[in-house]
Amino acid sequence: MRKIVYSGSLALALTLTLTGAAQAGGDRVTTPTLAGFASLPAATFVAGSEPSGTLVTGNTNGFAVPFADQPIQGFSGIADNGDGTFDVLSDNGYGNQANSADFLLRVQRLAPVFARKTVDVVGGINLTDPDGHVPWKLTRADRVLTGADFDVESIVKANDGTYWIGDEFGPYLLHFDRAGRLLSAPVPLPGVTAPETAARTGGTANLGSSKGFEGLAESPDGRHLYALLEGSVTGDTAGDLRLNEFDTRTGKYTGKRYVYRLGAANLAIGDAIAIDRNRFLIIERDGGQGATAVIKRLYIADTRDRDRDGLLDKTLLVDLMNIADPRRIGGSGTTFTFPFQTIEDVVILDEKTIAVLNDNNFPFSSGRTAGVADNNEWIKIALPGSLHPDKRIFPAHGR
């Protein structure tokens, strides 16, 4: 038995105990290593859907707007179905509330095929509010939800097949049934108001725009959700993000919260998921892409706060700008980088393997090739040791 320690800026150096070496193509893995690559072309649309993008302006990287259909893009959260398919959340649309009224909020069902380096689109559902749980006026009379209604950025699929989704405009927690129908009124976070809600209610915003629930994790027993803000609340230390505990049985926040500190105040998080009852995987990133992408990292964050500084303990797990690729799965070099502006999806596949996806901000982002709209890339990473996850986080085990 041996130990490897990963550490990052402002991170407490913790240890991962290795009980054996992970395997990638028969080779011993001693550093995070690319084990699979798949890509969904940027210009992938929901067949026979509605036009979209009528309000889009700016550099669209050669794509003419509006689009004849709804794009399958903007992946901001992922849930493993346990059968080779994944439910992946498309975010609010084209970057802001004002230009996304014709983008239908949707959960896409996808299946990566790593042998072909492709991603199959096998279905999906639109998010709707047919029973009128949202008390304010929606964009559409048919109560199909759009990117002008909510900015959905994080997702949990509960054991009963329902979805909990984190929004940035409230910030709200939204509970949908397996068909995408809202089950109850949006749940606000006490004491926190985003600008979009302040504008609607006449209140005072104390959170930046698009800085609501970027991460949403579920406890292994399914009892609690942990919703992580992307931005600091006014009055908090810059770069400190609140991780808020929510009780799914009572439908209320418990009042317990933790603090995740970014490596610098100008960074952001991309996703947060549970490893076990104490530990989370959190994506931390800068706003650069391509040549300006520097910090794209995956941390383990631990609530046990061993150094008693009042913050989640952080351990660097993967530097997404420096992934070993000895088999050249991702290209011609032996080092693979993930140089995207927004990286917003992580999922644990097994105790030694994770997958990470980018949000391509279609048609705007061009991190892989300058001037070319990014595809949605899906990478599988073999770790040098076990995460020792709680087995209840995997769909096959249930609760």
Each residue's pLDDT tens digit, 250-279: 999 999 999 999 999 999 999 999 999 999
Q: Rounded to the nearest 10 degrees, how much is the dihedral formed by the CA atoms of 88, 94, 98, 103?
A: -50
Alpha-carbon span 69 to 249, nearest angstrom:
39
Alpha-carbon span 8 to 320, nearest angstrom:
13
Average pLDDT over residues 20-24: 36
Per-residue pLDDT at 27: 53
Per-residue pLDDT at 11: 35
Per-residue pLDDT at 7: 35
Task: Evaluate the omega torsion of the peptide bond into residue 51 and state whether it is cis, within 30 degrees of 0.
Answer: no
Neighbours of 191 (CB within 10 A): 10
Query: What are the structural domain ranges in the chain?
Result: 2-393
Helix and strand counts by DSSP (H, E) for the chain: 1, 28
pTM of the complete model: 0.92
Q: What DSSP string describes 112-148?
A: EETTTTEEEEEEEEE-B-TT--S-SPPSSTT-B-BTT
Q: Note the pLDDT tens digit of each residue in 357-392.
A: 999 999 999 999 999 999 999 999 999 999 999 999
Nearest Cα neighbor of 34 from 348, 334, 388 is 334
Instruction: Report yes or no: 364 and 91 within 8 Å, Cβ to Cβ.
Output: no
Q: Structure tokens of 274?
A: 């549970």
Instruction: Report yes or no: 279 and 301 within 8 Å, Cβ to Cβ.
Output: yes
Give Rg (Cα) of the chain.
20
- Residue 218: Cβ-neighbour burial (10 angstroms; 0-12, 13-18, 19+): buried
Alpha-carbon span 289 to 370, nearest angstrom:
9
Alpha-carbon span 20 to 229, nearest angstrom:
35
Instruction: Report yes or no: 67 and 52 within 8 Å, Cβ to Cβ.
Output: yes
Phi, psi of 22 (to 5 degrees): -70, 160
**Alpha helix ranges (H) inside the chain:** 195-201
C-alpha atoms less than 13 angstroms from C-alpha of 119 in its C-beta half-sphere = 27
Average pLDDT over residues 203-228: 97
Alpha-carbon span 85 to 392, nearest angstrom:
18
Fold for domain 2-393?
Tachylectin-2; Chain A (2.115.10)
Map tokens 């070496």 to a residue. 21
Q: Read off the pLDDT band of 396 (50, 70, 90).
A: low
